[in-house]
Amino acid sequence: MSTQQHPGVALITGASSGIGATYAKQLAARGYDLILVARDKARLIALAETLTQRYHTQAQVFPADLTQESDLQRVEALLQHNADITLLLNNAGMSVEGSFLSTDTAQVQNMLALNVVAPTRLAQAAGRAFQARDNGTIINIASVVALMHERFNGAYNATKSFLLMLTRAMQTELAGSKVRIQAVLPGLTRTEIFDRAGMSVTAIPAEMLMEVDTLVEAALAGLAQGELVTIPTLENYGLWQEYDQARSAMLPFLSLSQSASRYRQQ
């Protein structure tokens, strides 16, 4: 439970490296206690020890493979029953190399389990628990590729569009409450995700690659400023607002009894 002095416990998925490990550090610096979730127990223990020493935080490790039903259920149960948890960072994710049609089907399936099924289940568990307490924050790590179909792997991009849509729908559903839901859309960020997918981070032009500390600092600043969708690279936020307004402008015309005149017989 959070108090004025203590913001509560943050449960972070994918906490063993990259963006998740960096959130762990920056949230510990802001006074959060932590539950660190990922598969690599040794790395989680090493991170927990470092953060405990540096920030005097309570950091619990919770090894889990979020593509496995039994492990996913254990994390859901934590979110349901541990009332000290005030923040869920839905961050664990993977990418795949190459185009959609050339990607191994089993890898795509695994990616859907990790990038779509797991964050959906955890967002639902946390959303219900936070709604009941009328308090709590969910951060969903999507990606700028949620807004792109021109580049990279279509299935990966689609997992991130899914998370953006889910976030926005949950924001509407919880609008009257004190529960906060933020979508973060990072651009290319220097982490292990590229190596893990068999790609090389050195192939990315330096001006297109953000350092992970910069990314997380910006994302937490966006959260503090009350943003619902944070795009850390985007200088002109009005571009996102215009895009979203164009989407809203279509809403009254999307479900009607009549087809558009161009489809009717002349």
Ligand X SMILES: NC(=O)c1ccc[n+]([C@@H]2O[C@H](COP(=O)([O-])OP(=O)(O)OC[C@H]3O[C@@H](n4cnc5c(N)ncnc54)[C@H](OP(=O)(O)O)[C@@H]3O)[C@@H](O)[C@H]2O)c1
Give residues in contact with ligand X (CB under 6 A): 14-20, 38-40, 43, 64-67, 91-95, 114, 141, 143, 186, 188-189, 191-193, 196
Q: Least distance (Å) from ligand X to the CB of residue 195? A: 8
Q: Least distance (Å) from ligand X to the CB of residue 25? A: 13
**Coil/strand/helix, residue 33:** strand
Phi and psi at residue 59, in whole multiples of 5°?
-120, 115
Query: In the complex with ligand X, which residue's Cβ is closer, 2 or 158?
Result: 158
Query: In the complex with ligand X, which residue's Cβ is closer, 86 or 189?
Result: 189
The count of C-alpha atoms lying within 13 angstroms of the C-alpha of 179, restricted to the half-sphere facing its C-beta, is: 27
Query: In the complex with ligand X, which residue's Cβ is closer, 65 or 97?
Result: 65
Query: Which residues, including other chains, have CB under 8 Å from residue 51's CB and lie 6 or more apart?
Result: 24, 25, 28, 34, 57, 59
Place of tokens 């219900």: 128
Rg of the chain, C-alpha, whole Å: 19
Query: In the complex with ligand X, which residue's Cβ is closer, 16 or 86?
Result: 16
Q: Least distance (Å) from ligand X to the CB of residue 164? A: 11
Q: Least distance (Å) from ligand X to the CB of residue 158? A: 12
How far apart are the C-alpha atoms of 25 and 57, rounded to whole Å? 10
